[in-house]
Structure formats: structure tokens, C-alpha cells
Amino acid sequence: MVEVTKLVNVMLIFLTLFVVALSNDTEYTDCLQHSDCQAYACELPFKPDCLMVEYAPQFFRLACGCV
């Protein structure tokens, strides 16, 4: 009985880590224009801007970032 409880706990921990790893794409906020990034928080010397994030030579997306 104790082994089953430990197994369930370990499975829940790994499942939670897996879900958190998949949902950790909050570093970039999608945008279409520079004005879409006004609410994006940047440290003082930097300003929010809409940037092109390139995954591969043909695949990219527009995302808010600090410039």
C-alpha cells in the first residue's frame, strides 16, 4: 500500500513538472504592432518593442521584447 502511494506521488510530481514546462512560454507576448507591447514590462534603460523571433530560417513570429 505504501509503495502505491509513493508511486502516485512521484507520478503527480512528474506530471506537474511536465505541465509547468509546457506552459512556460510567457517570456514572449505575441504582437502585430509596436503599440501592442505598451503593457510589456521592461527594466528602465530598455523600452518594449515588437520584435521578430526566428525559430528557423523560414519560421518566425512577432513577439514583445525589451530593446
- Yes or no: say if 37 and 48 are a contact pair by the CB < 8 Å rule: yes
Domain ranges in the chain are: 2-66
Range list of H helices, the chain: 2-22
- pTM for this prediction: 0.50
User: Which tens digits make up the pLDDT trace of 21-65?
Assistant: 666 555 667 888 888 888 778 888 999 989 888 877 778 888 888
